[in-house]
Structure 1
Amino acid sequence: MSLTRTTCPYCGVGCGVLADADGTIKGDPEHPANYGRLCSKGSALGETINLDGRLLTPQIRGQRASWTEALDLVADEFSAAVRDHGPDSVAFYVSGQLLTEDYYVANKLMKGFIGSANIDTNSRLCMASSVAGHKRAFGSDTVPGTYDDLEEADLIVLVGSNLAWCHPVLHQRIAAVKEKRPDLRIVNIDPRLTATSELADIHLKISPDGDIALFNGLLAYLVAEGMVDTDYITANVSGFDEALAAAKTCDPTESGLSARDLLQFYALWAKNRKVVTVYSQGVNQSECGTDKVNAILNCHLATGRVGAPGCGPFSVTGQPNAMGGREVGGLANMLANHLDIENSGHRDAVQMFWESPTICQQPGLKAVDLFEACARGKIKALWVMSTNPAVSMPDANGVSDAIANVPFVVVSDIMARTDTGDLADVLLPATGWGEKDGTVTNSERRVSRQRAFLPTPGDARPDWKIICDVAARMGWGDAFSYDSPSEVFSEYIALSEATRTFGRDLDLSVFADADYAALLPTQWPQNNHRFFADGKFYHPDGKARMVAIATPIRSLGSFRLNTGRNRDQWHTMTRTGKAPRLGAHLAEPYVEVHPDDAAALELEPGDLVQLNNGANDCILRALVTPRVAQGHLFAPMHWTRQRTSRSMINSVTPSQTDPVSGQPALKSGSVSATRFKGAWYGFAASLFEMRPTAAYSAVARTSTGWQIELADLACPDDWTVEARRITGVSGGEVAAIEDPATGLARIAMSERGILQAVFFAAPRPVALSRSKAIELIGTSAAPFDALAGRIKLGQPDPGVQVCACFNVGRNTLITAIGHGSVSIEDLGAQTCAGTNCGSCKPELAMLLRNAALPVAAE
């Protein structure tokens, strides 16, 4: 077997992968980002490379078309819009899923040839506030940290980052260091108790957006205790006095933490020189996200804890190429190579290098503004590449309507059906992971290759090639006449060389003579380089700037809504949704509710909750847990209109943004909550794909087909007809148990002795072992045994999945603990849980801890 070295397409950790067309997936032990480790999503990549649901030919208004027809139409419509309404009447919305080469040519076409900066990216939702904070502090969007710093630190502070679920391999890397060096201290700052909190020595349950009060308080404490580096500040930092004056006006207890907790954290930060502060979406996705970033950076700058091994601020990116997109100018407010649109010298240099007829003169529309312009009719032609804004943007229903309002919409994607693609006039089939070649840059500035190991399916083409084909038809063929992604990469490196006179941080000269085909994972400007070690920054005076930050005023509704991710899912599930074992961990959309709030809402186990923001609503399964604070709710963002009827959480998230970065405040929605009172609730498992139709429905793949959770406001006239409609089984035999007095219905459908589907309905949420029912689909199980919930004699119910790699359930683990397992290692030896990717280890630790609690006497 010949395995191809490539890079994982999920988060910004940038893990190396060894892959083969037969579905074999292994971690690359030689890749410095992961050294062979993979998370559950990465381990399951082999289950996601099939062609089910793939877009394989171009389509024009729902009809199959040739590439010539589709590309001619796209070029004609964009050219007409520019001619009739000006360059700013068109827009691209692109993605951190694109490779750097794709990103580069899209940016070049829009900014240098069409002449508008209306190209923004879903990275706006992810890292824009970090970019803005870096530029204010350092004079450039420079991430100074490296993964090695995590292993050299004496204190790691995780702020707004559920690393265990969102960047699992980094979490595992920290856990390994903690095991070797128990003196390493870890602080987890998060309004929720998460899987990451299991590894922490201290969990600070901060109030939402309390980060500024916390870190302003830290700055004032460090000054009061004489812990600032005055020599470093004098030589290398400006703005200290103003930042300190602002910090002193803050009350640290506005963070929501007690004076005792604050003092404990401040003292820990002060006494450990080697401090790494890792932050992510809990910081960035806020109306004051940029200020939160600078409040953190202020503390590192005031103590000189930046640019040295084992210390510094470290923003970790959410997407595989969010960093690469920033490098080539993928955001609407920047040029390629970290240059500034507002700087005429920068504009002239880029235009001269590209030999382009024009160059954008001002920043373009950021994501939220872009779709608002679509709604107002300002955008006449829109091209969405490799992302799904009709789901992922805040106010997703409004964004969907806005896209529908654009006269001409193009979507490049790998899937035939997405919520955004359903709104397109033209669909262009793109190659996906495993089929395309290019580069990505991870969170520590390391450029790695993605390499093809699968044949190109159908008529699909790489994104860079599609963009160049359109550019040629718009009259710019000579400037986009690349024959391969390596030629695009070479031009990108040459642009970096041509603009080095500006003294920016993005120095790619290490790649000037690189063999593209054999490119090894390499950091820019060179491996193991530490930015700012010499105290020199990128502001004109060479100094860093501390920023005066005021505490924000927060106004809350009845509930504060926080959104995020699940351990085993990615974005809108176009890829991870194909892997049944990834869906088994948390198979339907849910919202975490504090027990006291659940009692006030009169919620019982399994109930559904309806959230409303005054304009839209959504329905989610209530997960009652003390992990969230009273008055707070948490819901993941993965479910789409393809998978649910009314459970898209971004239908109720606000479109408010940070005024500096334009990043949406996806973690600070204000909603009301009420119990959803269905007339009936149901569950079905089927061999056939099912579609969401009821007032509440959530569909997921299973190991034997598909499952669906249901609830509706009116009972059907005939349960058997309803069961057939939902499960897609039209023939065969039916076995039914119905009790009109209680409203219970259980129906099994078989054909030629093979169980095709089961359907359960009741006036309250259906209680049964889903895993048992799912396992019987496609077998010769007797229909009435299936309806009784029975399974093979002597086979226990494994319970809800905890370990995705080996499909180990909660009941199996509890049994193992009862039989003497007292550690994660013991559980691994007995059940295999946690012995592959390790993503479930925090949950194993929770089960062990809970089992150790003494039973209260009655």
Structure 2
Amino acid sequence: MSAIPIQAKEVKSTCCYCGVGCGVLIQTEQGRITGVRGDPDHPANFGRLCTKGSTLHLSTRPEARLLYPELRRNRTDVRQRASWDESLDYVAERFAAIIREHGPDAVAFYISGQLLTEDYYVFNKLAKGLIGTNNVDTNSRLCMSSAVSGYKATLGADAPPACYEDIDHAACLFIAGSNTAYAHPILYRRIEDAKAKNPEMKIIVVDPRLTDTAQSADLHLAILPGTDVALFNGMLHVMLWEGLLDMAYINAHTEGFEALKNTVREYTPKMVADICGIKEADIITASKWFGAGPTLSMYCQGLNQSTSGTDKNAALINLHLATGQIGKPGAGPFSLTGQPNAMGGREVGGMANLLSGHRDLANPEHRAEVAKLWGIESVPEQPGKTAVEIFKAIGDGSIKAVWIACTNPAQSMPDLSSVLAALDKAELVVLQEAFQGTETTSYADVILPASSWGEKEGTVTNSERRITHLNPAVTPPVEARHDWEIATDFALRLGRLLDTTKDAAKLFPYTRPEHIFNEHRETTRGRDLDITGISYGLLDESGPQLWPFPEGSDTGVKRLYTDGIFQKENGKAQFVNTIYKSTAEKTDARHPLHLTTGRLRDQWHGMSRTGTVAQLFNHAEEPIISMNLGDMKRRSIEAGSLVKVSNKRGSLILRAQPSDEMMPAQTFIPMHWGSQFMNCLGSNALMPSAFDKTSKQPELKHAAIKIEKVELPWQMMVMRVCHDLHLLQNIRTLLKHFDYASCGLYGRGDGMVILRASHNVTPDDGIIQQLDEMLGMTEGMPMLNYNDSKRGISKRILVENKQVTGVRLIGEILAAEWLREVMTQGEFTEQLHLWALAPLSTPPTGNGSRGKIICNCVDVAENTIVDNIARGADLITLKNKLKCGTECGSCVPELNRLIKLHAPAISKFND
């Protein structure tokens, strides 16, 4: 009698990447995650997923995970596997000793916008309620704190007033400092749909680069980096002159307009055009379109990651207040959240200047309210240190111990060399993390393995204030534990060691996430984000809900401030008198180029998760610096050349590529690549640690650099089928031995590891031998081997079961792309056999590359698309014939760009 197959189950959750908050259905079999699809009932995405979301199940490979606690008691020791009791007892003893000797502010917690709200709540209470320090901050400081301070300065509360539905009602969409097509792809699908339904809708994009988002706009304002405040003030100037302001709204619902009006009188279109590097006519057009409304503005890191981030946010909100474009369908300032639960972290006060329920630490009444809610005498009033300040304090010794959870500051912080020096100096570094091999791991004295996506229960809040209840689909692997559970266990141990009257058992009575949520919910009673009407049961029965949702309500609130009453003491919004200031770092003769950074379409943050999925490398295989073609020609840099990118903080060696997205004197490096995927620290090593004085958000978007061409004559290319991620992890250890090296994955399924390396001289034979052993390319293996020592050429082709499973080329790598296609197809051919044993470098005739993968979902490459366009294919034809753009849709903007570039010219004359 045959066994009855176990049916697959589906569990509702959300995607763990950007702040759009897409609903997903996790598919499991026998306790394993086997697939994922978009939740058609979730109002954030209605079933759609981008390339990252649709491959989430592929990121659950067990060899990528941390599975056991690890501990070292001395920096000279190697971390060893330890029990949970041993690890947490050690950390509690060390924290208690440091607190007794140096005070509570000698310890700090640096946590993450990828934690669930319940996790965040426990960490915040642990630091501020039990230990008595406000040194708890988050990587949300790096992405959303200027949006927070901009909202609070103008509207009085950290509350985005619009919702996703407003995209459908907008007559003008104003996108500033956001490549939405890449950073928030599913939201961009909604923009595409709205534009298709209403072709008269105007889309304005403000961005120094001609991004995919900008290329689809009706008007692209390619301002110089950092000049946003000048642009927004200039637009307000035009609106004044054109009579586009809503003076009745200004008089009834705002204050501070007269001071701002006097300031913006100076910001004439001519002056602003000179500052921003754009046309006067375009400033006037943008002002008229915005003023006519209804206008919805959407903005992200281009505004936030700046020493003027608060003013940039406020200056844009000023435009909404001045035109009455707020609290109406299709109108309002809408910040796009960078992380899946940065909003939830702000709700529980999980930052150095905040308290639970959108309370301010500086407010004595708010501190008293939280102390009462927590049942303690007081909350510390001394301001806590924010992200940049925490690592500076570790460096100067005033912070002795730091607990890092679910984030990777050794890759993501600015001025990385100083951050790494600080981590190296710290007396104790605790890392609570789910994934192996992050840059921060090597600095950790204690590793605490945490649960991850698909394993956790709790809540998250997306960009539109919508709360979703996540249900676990599987249990955490081996000894990994939930984040809130780890923090609670530690709090109980620490409480027994501290000289305090606080009862840790009463402060942390939690046995499941719902207990934490219910306590958090009570802290919001009567506040702007009141969620006393929400429960896990309601979210499970009725689906995700918008806040505020006070007790007794039937539903949440779509739009805030519809009554014109704001969260200020007098109920009136406040115009902020914004004045343009340049970037923290200016270009000069020594560093003449602007460097900007941002996201790739298919990667996420420091790639600890996406870097384990081969398919997500297909669109961008290695780190590059994008340059203006004219700048490259002046420096004799060809496409694909290696260049040294440097300033006073550090240097990188990268491959340069021309890009029509780049204006003269501007360059771009993706933010994702760090020392786990290349032999240098990544773009953040070049970024200044200067930050906005109000939000304390660092200027991660801009630095001044110089670029020099580098000649590295020795070259190597390695490709190996990757059935186990340990191969990738092992190869990473060799990157430091080459002047240039990058490694990653490629293909589909398990894919292959790809290593590219260049060096000034021939590397030590021992390094190549070590690499060959890792690759399994040693004596006795079924391998074609060609060596020409005089020419410095070596070719090794590994063939197993008539399949090409490995390639290692040294000296000449001209055939690398062809060989990659051979490996992708798998089958060994006689043509390959002849090439491998001959003194040939170029691929056989007729064996060119497919080009880069444009559509990751169905594996369609650029050359195939271009060939079809040249034969007359439009977007509909491409979708019907090749199926590209028919799954997640993330490639549609790039398909449209290729159509514009390669569509055959239509003759003006007809026979």
TM-score (norm 1): 0.95
Give the structure 2 partner of residue 583 of structure 1. Answer: 617
After alignment, is 561-570 or 524-533 more displaced?
A: 524-533
Contact 1:729 1:756 survives alignment (8 Å): no
Identity %: 39
Cα distance in structure 2, aligned partners of 1:156 and 1:546: 22
Equivalent of 2:248 in 226, 231, 243: 231
SS at match of 1:150: helix
Amino acid at match of 2:520: Y
Say yes or no: does 1:105 pair with 2:122: yes
Total equivalences in the alignment? 850
Alignment of 1:780-819 (within 5 A): 783-785=833-835, 797-819=849-871
Give the structure 1 partner of residue 878 of structure 2. Answer: 827
Cα distance in structure 2, aligned partners of 1:534 and 1:199: 35
Contact 2:110 2:137 survives alignment (8 Å): yes
Give the structure 1 partner of residue 778 of structure 2. Answer: 730
Amino acid at match of 2:524: S
Give the structure 2 partner of residue 550 of structure 1. Answer: 579
Q: Which runs of 5+ in 2 are unaligned?
A: 1-7, 73-78, 496-503, 550-555, 722-726
Give the structure 1 partner of residue 531 of structure 2. Answer: 508
Cα distance in structure 1, aligned partners of 2:539 and 2:222: 47
Give the structure 2 partner of residue 759 of structure 1. Answer: 808
Cα distance in structure 1, aligned partners of 2:764 and 2:508: 62
Alignment of 1:112-191 (within 5 A): 112-191=129-208
Q: CA deviation at 1:780?
A: 8.0
Contact 1:129 1:293 survives alignment (8 Å): yes
Give the structure 2 partner of residue 294 of structure 1. Answer: 314
Amino acid at match of 1:553: S
Q: CA deviation at 1:815?
A: 2.3
1:264/1:223 Cα in 2 relative to 1: closer, same or farther (>3 Å)? same
Cα distance in structure 2, aligned partners of 1:607 and 1:200: 32
Give the structure 1 partner of residue 559 of structure 2. Answer: 530
Alignment of 1:569-608 (within 5 A): 569-608=603-642
Amino acid at match of 2:131: I
Q: CA deviation at 1:647?
A: 5.3
Q: CA deviation at 1:768?
A: 3.5
Say yes or no: does 1:266 pair with 2:266: no
After alignment, is 349-358 or 305-314 more displaced?
A: 349-358
Cα distance in structure 1, aligned partners of 2:801 and 2:363: 73
Cα distance in structure 1, aligned partners of 2:906 and 2:391: 55
1:75/1:519 Cα in 2 relative to 1: closer, same or farther (>3 Å)? farther
Cα distance in structure 1, aligned partners of 2:843 and 2:867: 19
Cα distance in structure 2, aligned partners of 1:851 and 1:770: 27
Q: CA deviation at 1:837?
A: 0.3
Q: CA deviation at 1:514?
A: 4.3
Contact 2:469 2:536 survives alignment (8 Å): no
Cα distance in structure 2, aligned partners of 1:800 and 1:564: 20
Spell out, residue by residue over 1:745-793, the C-alpha distance to the aligned partner (whole angstroms, 9 max, x if none): 4332446765442122337887643631542669688554568799999
Equivalent of 1:426 in 425, 446, 452: 446
Give the structure 2 partner of residue 307 of structure 1. Answer: 327
Amino acid at match of 1:848: I
Give the structure 2 partner of residue 769 of structure 1. Answer: 818
Cα distance in structure 2, aligned partners of 1:294 and 1:540: 18
1:621/1:513 Cα in 2 relative to 1: closer, same or farther (>3 Å)? closer
Give the structure 2 partner of residue 846 of structure 1. Answer: 897
1:204/1:493 Cα in 2 relative to 1: closer, same or farther (>3 Å)? same
Say yes or no: does 1:387 pair with 2:400: no
SS at match of 1:510: coil
Give the structure 1 partner of residue 510 of structure 2. Answer: 482
Contact 1:757 1:777 survives alignment (8 Å): no
Spell out, residue by residue over 1:32-69, the C-alpha distance to the aligned partner (whole angstroms, 9 max, x if none): 11111111100111111121221111110210111100
Give the structure 2 partner of residue 340 of structure 1. Answer: 360
1:628/1:513 Cα in 2 relative to 1: closer, same or farther (>3 Å)? closer
Q: CA deviation at 1:380?
A: 1.1
SS at match of 1:130: helix
Alignment of 1:334-733 (within 5 A): 334-475=354-495, 476-497=504-525, 500=526, 504-511=527-534, 514-515=537-538, 518=541, 520-526=543-549, 527-554=556-583, 555-556=586-587, 557-646=591-680, 648-687=682-721, 688-689=727-728, 690-691=731-732, 692=735, 693-703=737-747, 704-716=751-763, 721=769, 724=772, 727=775, 729-731=777-779, 732-733=781-782
SS at match of 2:383: coil
Alignment of 1:197-236 (within 5 A): 197-236=214-253
Contact 1:89 1:378 survives alignment (8 Å): yes
SS at match of 2:357: helix
Tell me the C-alpha RMSD between the 2 structures.
2.4
Equivalent of 2:18 in 6, 11, 16: 11
After alignment, is 719-728 or 784-793 more displaced?
A: 784-793
Cα distance in structure 2, aligned partners of 1:651 and 1:532: 42
Give the structure 1 partner of residue 343 of structure 2. Answer: 323
Contact 2:22 2:44 survives alignment (8 Å): yes
Contact 2:777 2:798 survives alignment (8 Å): yes
Equivalent of 1:36 in 47, 50, 62: 47
After alignment, is 759-768 or 141-150 more displaced?
A: 759-768
Contact 1:758 1:773 survives alignment (8 Å): no
Cα distance in structure 2, aligned partners of 1:728 and 1:84: 53
SS at match of 2:339: coil
Q: CA deviation at 1:515?
A: 4.0
Amino acid at match of 2:65: R
1:381/1:780 Cα in 2 relative to 1: closer, same or farther (>3 Å)? farther
Cα distance in structure 1, aligned partners of 2:297 and 2:161: 12
Contact 1:702 1:774 survives alignment (8 Å): no
After alignment, is 615-624 or 143-152 more displaced?
A: 615-624
Amino acid at match of 1:827: L
Cα distance in structure 2, aligned partners of 1:665 and 1:267: 31
Contact 2:782 2:799 survives alignment (8 Å): yes
Amino acid at match of 1:487: H
1:763/1:770 Cα in 2 relative to 1: closer, same or farther (>3 Å)? closer
Amino acid at match of 1:142: A
Spell out, residue by residue over 1:273-325, the C-alpha distance to the aligned partner (whole angstroms, 9 max, x if none): 20011111011111111111111011111111111111011100110001001
Q: CA deviation at 1:507?
A: 1.1
Q: CA deviation at 1:326?
A: 0.7
Contact 1:705 1:777 survives alignment (8 Å): no
Equivalent of 2:61 in 50, 68, 83: 50
Q: CA deviation at 1:495?
A: 1.6
Cα distance in structure 2, aligned partners of 1:330 and 1:230: 39
Contact 1:589 1:647 survives alignment (8 Å): no
1:786/1:447 Cα in 2 relative to 1: closer, same or farther (>3 Å)? farther
Q: CA deviation at 1:730?
A: 3.0
1:472/1:773 Cα in 2 relative to 1: closer, same or farther (>3 Å)? same
Q: CA deviation at 1:826?
A: 1.2
Cα distance in structure 2, aligned partners of 1:371 and 1:716: 36
Q: CA deviation at 1:389?
A: 0.4
Contact 2:113 2:341 survives alignment (8 Å): yes
Cα distance in structure 2, aligned partners of 1:805 and 1:443: 26
Cα distance in structure 2, aligned partners of 1:580 and 1:802: 15
Cα distance in structure 2, aligned partners of 1:213 and 1:805: 41
Q: CA deviation at 1:494?
A: 1.3
SS at match of 2:743: strand
1:335/1:647 Cα in 2 relative to 1: closer, same or farther (>3 Å)? closer
SS at match of 1:353: helix
Contact 1:618 1:646 survives alignment (8 Å): yes
